[in-house]
């Protein structure tokens, strides 16, 4: 049965209202007014942020275009300067080489003339004829020196040119690297700005929808109960800060939305009650076979209501849940995978152990409530399970010093009295069913406390997805353990096809109830949805009566009514306490 629980300390100085209906009416009016104003303000903020986001996107596009244009101009100017510099260097090189060659050639020609003229004068060659002898030795040496000098000059010139080119290339490379780094930094800044705007818009949308769902209570509200997954309202630290900063605002939902939410909450409770009846039908309990819908058709039980059979049913159910839940979670909360990735990378080992421990306690409560349903009447098993608020309040008082108020103490007495009156009697293995139901309440209370300790650190949808995965892992590990011979002897392998079909039905019912309750909280609020959830035992008993003909005694019906009154009074007390904190 889906429930929302809150173990936050209440104001002990507050006066107890004389009429619950009057208090509820006043609280509903105040909450409606609060919601209307806050919804209007949040809508205006969201519209303003959207306009600012569009303007920022335009500015970012304009800045990118300007940056690309400037970059192209800079590269073009750099290439033009480079070409002009190279042309200048070539001209200077040509001038230097020409000057050097001209000077060296003039010098060598003068030396040759000086060497040749004395020879002509001393040798007395005929007029108009030159001597047909080899040139002097110093002529070859002068030519070689001229070649060496020209080569050395060219080498020095090219070396200087190469050094200048290398220096220019190095400077250009440094500038390009700097430009590339500036470009990357600009891209990172732009991406960071866009991502922050998107996160801000998503956070504002989440706050606007989350406040309408939780009514200033915690966002951690997903819990799995005896008949499937239930929703529990836990005070969230983040929503506390929001409610304090917006304590003067008023939030109001449209009446049509509230009606839709209440209808969805009723449908969710009915689906979970039918889930409980299906568990009862799967177990092989007397009378056999089960006469469904007054004998319209009969359904023989498949397996005995023991630990190993409950593990098998839970594992088959979780296979369906773990296959479909990622799709549903992504639809309900698109950021579920980024939140899970951030949770894994956070390395918050304290939170990890709390979530793992909460999954384990939830797993144990499921196994125990299945055993309880298999051994006693379905409505009685669910009613016994609903005594878990007493255990939760006592544990919270002992561990955290959250002393219960007078209203909670009275509600706890009423729930305890109803739990005693609802105990079954007569033939059958009802003692095992009662004990299993009580321990299911205890383990479920441990899950609730661990959920409260983890509140505000992870969104409810990724939190529930991790819990589903944890239940699947624990169920698979449990089925790998050695099993007693009695269970293997009583298990009929021919029932596998029927068990698989039953597991598929149970998984679909679980997810259907989860989705319905999520939308019920979104439209009607957590308090209204939790109030509808208190009628789970009655709905389960009625469906069991009309479906398989389970009949309860007058004393047990009266005890069930007392339990419902006690749990509902706790919900009203929490609603009244939230209203006083908001005011």
- Supply the DSSP string of 491-544, one letter for each residue: --GGGHHHHHHHHHHHHHHHHHHHHHHHHHHHHH-HHHHHHHHTTHHHHHHHHH
pLDDT of residue 318: 93
- 7 closest CA partner among 450, 443, 393, 414: 393
pLDDT of residue 115: 55
pLDDT of residue 196: 65
Q: Which residues of the chain have pLDDT under 70?
A: 1-18, 78, 94, 98, 101-102, 104-148, 150, 154, 158, 161, 164-255, 294-295, 426-429, 486-491, 575-583
pLDDT of residue 357: 93
pLDDT of residue 568: 84
Directed axis angle between helix 496-524 and helix 255-282, to 10°?
A: 160
* Euclidean distance between CA atoms 501 and 316, whole angstroms: 9
pLDDT of residue 156: 75
Q: Where are the domains of the chain?
A: 32-214, 222-582
pLDDT digits (tens, 9 = 90+) for 34-71: 888 888 888 888 888 888 888 888 888 888 888 888 87
pLDDT of residue 247: 41
pLDDT of residue 469: 93
Q: What is the token pair recorded at 313?
A: 């049913």
pLDDT of residue 124: 44
pLDDT of residue 315: 93
Question: Which positions ≥6 away from 59 have C-beta within 8 Å?
Answer: none
* Euclidean distance between CA atoms 438 and 365, whole angstroms: 10
pLDDT of residue 113: 58
Tokens 């989440």, residue located: 206
pTM of the model: 0.57
Q: What is the token pair recorded at 125?
A: 């060659």
pLDDT of residue 180: 64
pLDDT of residue 351: 87
pLDDT of residue 214: 35
């Amino acid at each position: 049965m889906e429930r929302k629980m809150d173990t936050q300390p209440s104001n002990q100085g507050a006066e107890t209202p004389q009429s619950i209906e009057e208090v509820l009416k006043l609280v509903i009016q105040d909450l409606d007014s609060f919601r209307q104003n806050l919804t209007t303000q949040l809508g205006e903020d969201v519209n303003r942020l959207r306009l600012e986001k569009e303007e920022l996107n335009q500015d970012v596009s304009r800045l990118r275009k300007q940056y690309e244009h400037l970059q192209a101009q800079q590269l073009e100017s750099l290439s033009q300067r480079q070409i002009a510099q190279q042309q200048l260097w070539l001209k200077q090189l040509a001038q230097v080489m020409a000057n050097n060659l001209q000077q060296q050639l003039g010098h060598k020609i003068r030396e040759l003339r000086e060497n040749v003229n004395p020879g002509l004068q001393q040798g007395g060659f005929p007029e108009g004829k030159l001597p047909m002898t080899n040139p002097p030795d110093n002529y070859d040496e002068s030519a070689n020196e001229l070649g060496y000098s020209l080569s050395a000059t060219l080498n020095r010139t090219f070396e200087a040119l190469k050094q200048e080119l290398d220096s220019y290339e190095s400077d250009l490379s440094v500038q390009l690297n700097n430009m590339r780094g500036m470009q990357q930094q600009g891209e990172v800044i732009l991406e960071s700005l866009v991502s922050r705007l998107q996160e801000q818009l998503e956070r504002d949308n989440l706050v606007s929808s989350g406040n309408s769902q939780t009514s200033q209570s915690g966002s951690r509200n997903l819990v799995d109960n005896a008949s499937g997954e239930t929703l529990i309202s836990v005070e969230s630290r983040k929503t506390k800060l929001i409610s304090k900063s917006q304590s003067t605002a008023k939030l109001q939902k449209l009446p049509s939305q509230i009606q839709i939410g209440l209808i969805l909450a009723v449908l969710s409770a009915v689906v979970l009650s039918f889930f409980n009846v299906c568990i009862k039908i799967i177990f092989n309990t007397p009378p056999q076979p089960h006469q469904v819908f007054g004998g319209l058709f009969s359904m023989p039980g498949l397996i005995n209501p023991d630990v190993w059979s409950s593990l098998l049913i839970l594992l088959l159910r979780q296979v369906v849940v773990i296959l479909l839940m990622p799709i549903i979670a992504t639809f309900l909360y698109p950021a579920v995978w980024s939140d899970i990735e951030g949770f894994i990378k956070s390395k918050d080992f304290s939170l990890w152990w709390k979530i793992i421990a909460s999954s384990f306690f939830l797993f144990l409560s499921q196994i125990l409530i299945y055993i309880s349903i298999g051994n006693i009447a379905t409505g009685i098993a669910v009613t016994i399970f609903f005594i878990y608020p007493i255990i939760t309040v006592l544990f919270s008082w002992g561990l955290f010093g959250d002393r219960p108020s007078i209203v909670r103490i009275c509600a706890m007495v009423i729930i305890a009295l109803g739990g005693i009156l609802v105990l079954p009697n007569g033939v059958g293995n009802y003692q095992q069913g009662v004990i299993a139901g009580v321990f299911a309440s205890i383990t479920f209370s441990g899950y609730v406390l661990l959920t409260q300790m983890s509140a505000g650190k992870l969104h409810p949808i990724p939190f529930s997805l991790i819990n589903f995965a944890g239940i699947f892992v624990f169920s698979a590990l449990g089925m790998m353990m050695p099993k007693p011979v009695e269970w293997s002897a009583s298990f009929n392998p021919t029932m596998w096809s029927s068990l698989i079909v039953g597991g598929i039905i149970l998984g679909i019912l679980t997810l259907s109830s989860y989705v319905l309750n999520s939308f019920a909280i979104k439209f009607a609020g957590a308090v209204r949805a939790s109030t509808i959830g208190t009628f789970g035992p009655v709905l389960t008993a009625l469906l069991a009566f009309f479906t398989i003909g389970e009949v309860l005694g007058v004393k047990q019906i009266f005890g069930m009514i007392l339990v419902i009154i006690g749990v509902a009074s706790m919900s009203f007390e929490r609603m009244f306490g939230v209203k006083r904190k908001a005011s």
